[in-house]
Copies of this chain bind each other. A is one copy, B any other.
């Protein structure tokens, strides 16, 4: 029988032990793929910031490995934006700038509301989710304090070799860079003189604070304080939602900044509440009242993304990028991590197909390297358009929130016409057709494998398709 390939397990190196790296590892384990995660930190980063996942992304987690969704929930996730007596989540936009009623300068109209459905979002603390995720995967697959230095594609036995800055090395069949916005894998892939290797400044800065619920209620009124709201106005917006079981409000103010950021290496700078007060001095008094409860000293975050110089591709041979390493988005859709989860689902799908095609039978002449290369080509084709769209769209909605027109009464009507677009963009994220993605991924991998087999066989008829595995196999 021709074409029988030795069945040694596929070994995948994941660079980066963040949310996407660990979810991907948990998904691959479920497919009996051998995985190692290399994380540069001493432990899993303990950043206490809140993050939310859409119901759609949580379903993607469940398809990869039901334990991921359990980990999210065991971390104490909560729906972020629940109206009283309404099981659905909403996003809400209000006029943050104007005093529309002379008799009540604190009046703010609800400009728009989008229904995200039942448990449309689930919020969690990043550190809590990570901690729970670590428990999902066997302890010995994670190696800490491993900062990637280089990747050598032609390592021992033609496999790929990772070199770390501590002088150690590791070998794998393929490398997936999940090492975030400042990805070293991306830098290696595109070269240090290529602007696509680095994120760039979005010309927006962010100030974050946690405000005790009773103070937030004093400032905003009970309904606004207890429910997510996005206050829009000229060149800035302020978004807040309840956290910690409605005991705190997590508030973030984003300001447009026409200047360059002074240092790409230092994207957080100390700042003063006073600066923020100056920026919002002309805004609706409710916002100024809320800002009074921010700490006097706070951080100013420069928002970076890959909009200016997107990655031209996410794959090179048996190396690929996923999550923020591939497409770092500004946070204005709150969907950056969700998009990384979709990436991971696509990769888990592909590696399952790679295994199936290698298990082989007649005609499966592809080597592991060829199969993995094909898989990552398919991944690039399936994921790049949507994920780069998200980067663009996150910029775009922020521009709409910051329309200068909010500041001119004659232009309010024009400014308010933006919400149909914001709704469409939100629904494109929330209603992602992951079943369609899985189907497309399986089909395109089968096509690629059968065409390279046809090529390898030099015109021989292509018998049964190993790649045409059943679609929707997760169900």
Contact = CB atoms under 8 A, between A and B. Distances in A.
Nearest to A410: B195
A116 to B, nearest CB: 19
A473 interface: no
A392 interface: yes
B410 A392 contact: no
A312 B391 CA distance: 32
A385 B310 contact: no
Interface stretch (A331-339, A363-371, A415-423): A415-423
Interface string A410-447: 11011001101100100010000000000000000000
Given A196-B413, A312-B413, A410-B195, A420 B389 contact: yes
A11 interface: no
Count class of interface residues, chain A: 20 to 34
A391 to B, nearest CB: 8
A453 interface: no
Interface string A392-404: 1100000000000
A399 to B, nearest CB: 11
Nearest to A391: B417
Nearest to A412: B312
Interface centre among A196, A308, A388, A414 (most CB of B within 10 A): A414
A410 B196 CA distance: 9
A386 interface: yes
B389 A309 contact: no
Contact of A417 (B388, B413, B420): B388
Contacts of A410: 195, 309
A123 to B, nearest CB: 28
A417 B310 contact: yes
A72 B171 CA distance: 67
A307 interface: yes
B310 A413 contact: yes
Contacts of A428: 424
Given A310-B413, A389-B417, A392-B420, 14 more contacts: A307-B414, A309-B410, A309-B411, A312-B413, A385-B417, A388-B417, A388-B420, A389-B420, A392-B417, A392-B418, A392-B421, A393-B421, A424-B424, A424-B428
29 contacts: A195-B410, A196-B413, A307-B414, A308-B411, A308-B414, A309-B410, A309-B411, A309-B413, A309-B414, A310-B413, A310-B414, A310-B417, A312-B413, A385-B417, A385-B420, A386-B420, A388-B417, A388-B420, A389-B417, A389-B420, A389-B421, A391-B417, A392-B417, A392-B418, A392-B420, A392-B421, A393-B421, A424-B424, A424-B428
Interface of A: 195-196, 307-310, 312, 385-386, 388-389, 391-393, 410-411, 413-414, 417-418, 420-421, 424, 428
